[in-house]
Amino acid sequence: MVNFILLCVCFVLGLAIRMAGIVDEKGPAALNAVVIYMSMPALALLYAHSLPMGVELIFPAAMGWIVFAIGYVFFTVLGKIFDWDEKTVVCLTLCVGLGNTSFVGLPMIETFFGQQYIGIGMLCDTGGSFLALAIPGIILAAKVSGAEVNGPMVAKKVLLFPPFLAVVLGIALQPVTYPDWVTGVLTRLGSTLSPLALLSVGMTLSVNSLRGHTRELLWGLGYKLVLAPLIILLLYMVVLGKTDVVTRVTVFEAAMGPMVTGGIIAMSHGVKSSLAVALVGVGTVVSFATLPAWYAVIQLF
């Protein structure tokens, strides 16, 4: 409960800082950089080091790709129905075809399941959401923005992403026992993820970004917060009959709000920036209510 209150306080504080004009639009980007280059790698090194390796770990990584692929098809069909342009379809795919499995997902896993399962969340993020964003996501964003995209550029983005490198290094170091001081340092650095991430998300929300996007918001958030986790729950827990804690955490990650990094990619490529901000901001707020509900649903299986 304390962790959940902490997340809410940091998010509201981010909103207050934005509304008071204390920082400009570059503020969230600075916090995002700290989270990506310090907090997430520290947690990855810590929890990937003790993560049990097995075939079952394919399912957490596959979740992000499944949600992304279905999302792209879903929004392409809606685009034809509502006459949306290609940038709207791509913006929705980047933001709600991918979940906030790191900035919000990891703190929420710690709150509802316990800190020991953060490694599963890292797999959902680095092997699933991040790779889906870094490969097909970047290609889609570059295509609609008119930018050139090539294999070496995509490979560089994936291989040099700090959390991805940290996960690989953490797994490689599993035969080595961390000294107590290393564990202590990584724990302290990783503990900054929750407050900084939610502070950043709160700072992204602007009232002006909500205007003129009602239909897109309703369909986008309906997919991300309701349909996507339902699809993963039915596929993993009903069809495949998997009810272990790894699967439960994976379904919970599927229920996360829109991806902050996906929104950043959309904005940096000029792909419906105001819609991206609205999806991320509103989706994060609403997810604070839907995530406890999904946790309760998961416990029924």
Tens of pLDDT, residue by residue over 26-35, are 788 788 788 8
Q: What is the dihedral of CA 292, 97, 49, 233, to 10 degrees?
A: 50
* 241 burial level (CB within 10 Å; 0-12, 13-18, 19+): exposed
Q: How far apart are CA 200 and CA 258, in angstroms?
A: 14
Q: How far apart are CA 214 and CA 106, in angstroms?
A: 29
Model confidence, pTM: 0.80
- CA dihedral sign, ordered 75, 81, 85, 86: positive
How high is the pLDDT of residue 83? 94
Residue type, 148: E
- Which structural domain range is residue 37 located in? 2-19+27-204+212-298
Residue type, 234: L
CATH number at residue 155: 1.20.1530
Tokens of 92: 């929705």
How high is the pLDDT of residue 137? 85
Q: How far apart are CA 91 and CA 96, in angstroms?
A: 8
Tens digits of residue pLDDT in 194-228 = 788 778 777 877 666 667 788 999 999 999 999 99
How high is the pLDDT of residue 96? 93
> In percent, how much of the chain has pLDDT > 90?
38
Looking at the 3D structure of the chain, how many domains does it have?
Answer: 1
Residue 4 pLDDT > 80: no
How high is the pLDDT of residue 255? 96
Tens digits of residue pLDDT in 97-132 = 999 887 788 888 988 998 888 888 888 887 788 778
